[in-house]
Amino acid sequence: MDLTQIKPDRILVVNIFGIGDVLFTTPMLRNLRRHFPQARIDYLANRRVAPLLEAHELIERVYVYERDEFVAARKRSPQEFLRKIGDLRGELRAQRYSVLFDFSMNAMFSWMSLFLGVPHRIGFNYRHRSRWLTERMEIRGYEGRHVARYYLDLLERCGLTTEPDPLEVTIGAAGRDWAVDFLKRLGCDPAKPFLVVFPGGGSSWGASADLKRWGVEKYAKLIHKIVENYPAQIILMGDNAEQNLCSKSFPQHPLIYKSFGQTTLGQLCSVLSLSAGVICNDGGPLHMAVAAGAKTVSIFGPVDPQVYGPWPNGQHHEVVFSNIICRPCYRRFRMTDCEHMSCLRELSVNTVFEKVRAIL
């Protein structure tokens, strides 16, 4: 397939996964815009990520697919489930897309794309789930190179030259003004350096999120060490569910502020863009920080940062991980059974602190 000959005028991108997975597609979107400046680009994503895409300058319209809602409908009745699929199919079919990029690796979406009237349907074929696509790249999982590179490689397979553009979020002047006001209301001086720390994260892993998290107690010791050595303000951030995780572990200190569940994803990106650096686990906050242009220190456990780490990695991003022989053990979208989690437990506070010093 040669997209330069097709010259698509309406493009739909489907990615129903978490924040990082969706942001990894933004270099691909930038390359599509470079090749097809007049094309309309729409996106199908989950409800949590949708606001980031709705604000993005490259995207015209965002459609929402929430897996739990479809699962609940199927449990209530097959008729309701089929009706929801039919409604979504009808809405998408009416747009008359010329090209669809399906990154769901989901047999239902692959099947549904067949009935959208899209002549060119492109994506990855994982475990034969994408048999109804017209252009398929066989994969057993993301391994050996970054996920963003996989997306760019798919464009090259379709005849396009690519550039390794950075991750993107759209942050306007109004967003930055809001962030300054938010910091003042929090008690933090926006004119002085501040670090944002996410002790949680990894919520896209659901009940297994703890497998991606460095210990909260170690984060508390790290923050104490930072404020002892630097005049930096610290803002602890996360969603509502992570507030209890952090409520008892972090000491009261005039330079430490807390904000859980008080921002939208777009507002959070605005705050991160003003920070002196972000310290976090492997997860969505890392990739929002990278896309917002912040310096980062990220802590990786079972996941390979070569595949899921900062894109592009460079002097502004410090990645911390253990060299024990069993990691990375998250491969081909599967996590092996692990009771000891030594890859995270053996990472010392001093090791992470040295990486923090490198970005300050």
Split the chain (360 residues) into runs of 10 and give each run's mean pLDDT: 92 95 98 97 95 94 89 88 88 95 85 88 84 86 92 96 96 95 96 93 63 87 93 90 70 84 94 97 95 96 91 90 79 70 86 94
Peptide bond into 328 cis (omega under 30): yes
- pTM: predicted TM-score of the whole model, two decimal places: 0.92
Adjacent-strand bridge partners of 7: none
Q: Clarify whether residues 190 and 314 are in a common domain.
A: yes
Q: Clarify whether residues 140 and 116 are in a common domain.
A: yes
Q: Clarify whether residues 186 and 130 are in a common domain.
A: no
Question: What is the rounded distance in angstroms from the CA atom of residue 102 to the CA atom of residue 98?
Answer: 13
Residue 127 is classified by DSSP as T
Q: Do strands 233-238 and 317-320 pair parallel, antiparallel, or not at all (unpaired)?
A: unpaired
Residue 178 is classified by DSSP as H
The pLDDT of residue 207 is 59
The pLDDT of residue 325 is 76
Q: Clarify whether residues 320 and 208 are in a common domain.
A: yes
Last residue of a domain, one of 112, 130, 157: 157
Question: What is the rounded distance in angstroms from the CA atom of residue 4 to the CA atom of residue 1?
Answer: 9
Using alpha carbons, select from 253, 251, 176, 187 the residue that is nearest to residue 217: 251
Answer whether 179's CB lies under 8 Å from 273's CB: yes
Burial 149-181 (b: 16+ CB within 10 A, else e): bbbbebbeebebebeebebbbbbeeebeebbee
Residue 142, burial from CB neighbour count under 10 angstroms (0-12, 13-18, 19+): buried
The pLDDT of residue 205 is 58
Query: Domains in the chain: how many in total?
Result: 2
Q: Clarify whether residues 152 and 178 are in a common domain.
A: no
The pLDDT of residue 313 is 81
Q: Clarify whether residues 153 and 177 are in a common domain.
A: no
Last residue of a domain, one of 157, 191, 214: 157
Question: What is the rounded distance in angstroms from the CA atom of residue 69 to the CA atom of residue 48?
Answer: 13
Question: What is the rounded distance in angstroms from the CA atom of residue 108 to the CA atom of residue 329?
Answer: 28
Question: What is the rounded distance in angstroms from the CA atom of residue 271 to the CA atom of residue 51?
Answer: 16
**Residue 166 within any structural domain of the chain:** no
Query: Domain range for residue 66?
Result: 3-157
Domain containing 308 — which CATH number? 3.40.50.2000
The pLDDT of residue 106 is 81
Q: Clarify whether residues 19 and 81 are in a common domain.
A: yes
Q: Clarify whether residues 17 and 152 are in a common domain.
A: yes
Q: Clarify whether residues 10 and 37 are in a common domain.
A: yes
**Residue 162 within any structural domain of the chain:** no
**Residue 165 within any structural domain of the chain:** no
Last residue of a domain, one of 129, 157, 185: 157
The pLDDT of residue 22 is 97
Question: What is the rounded distance in angstroms from the CA atom of residue 95 to the CA atom of residue 10?
Answer: 8
Q: Clarify whether residues 259 and 183 are in a common domain.
A: yes
Question: What is the rounded distance in angstroms from the CA atom of residue 293 to the CA atom of residue 176?
Answer: 13
**Residue 164 within any structural domain of the chain:** no
Using alpha carbons, select from 203, 269, 200, 204 the residue that is nearest to residue 237: 200
